[in-house]
Amino acid sequence: MATYNSSNAYKMRYEDGAAEKVRRSPSKKAPDRKKHIRPNMTVKLNKRKESKPALAPRTLVKPLRSFDPGQVRLLFAAGFAFFILISFFAFTIGCQVRDNELTNQINNRENTLSELQDDHQGLIVKREKIWSDAAYEEYAEQNLGMQKRENHQVNWIEVSWDNDFDD
């Protein structure tokens, strides 16, 4: 509230619109007052409400503020713990993927090994059949016209022994 001299107060109050007239409810009667302002009388006037100046547009970037060292340590520790946790999960998932790949390779090679062992057993049976004495006799009789010797047929073979190692 400002204090004004009575000589200028009237002009300021009513002509400039600096002060608004007070409305009173009709139920209460105001005491009789003189309608004019006497000279040298001080009057308190309400200041005129001025509109606020338009605000500048807000910037999107907040200026840096200083952090408490305790807060910085806490944020750093939380970030480091988060990094360790994410690294652990990534490592675990990578190990599981490698484990699955190795398991699939082992299963494929075991299947191949069992097939090769079956083929090997079949080849052994085939070899025994082909290399048996009966197979040789059959081949000699059919292809070469040979016959098996009988017990009464005896051939003598003479071997000369030279003793080259004299004592």
pLDDT at 31: 55
The total domain count for the chain is 2
pLDDT at 165: 67
Range of the domain at 41: 1-22+37-47
The reply to whether 158 falls in a domain is no
User: What mean pLDDT do residues 58-75 have?
Assistant: 74
pLDDT per residue as tens digits for the range 90-116: 999 999 999 999 999 999 999 999 999
Distances (CA, A) of 108 to 95, 113, 119, 125: 20, 9, 17, 26
Residue type, 111: N
Q: Which of 47, 48, 46, 37 has the alpha carbon at shortest distance from 5?
A: 37
- Shared domain check, 43 and 76: no
Give yes or no for a contact between 13 and 45, defined as CB atoms under 8 angstroms apart. yes
- Shared domain check, 138 and 73: yes
- Shared domain check, 83 and 134: yes
pLDDT per residue as tens digits for the range 11-32: 555 454 545 555 555 555 555 5
Q: What's the mean pLDDT when you consider all of the chain? A: 76
pLDDT per residue as tens digits for the range 110-135: 999 999 999 999 999 998 888 888 88
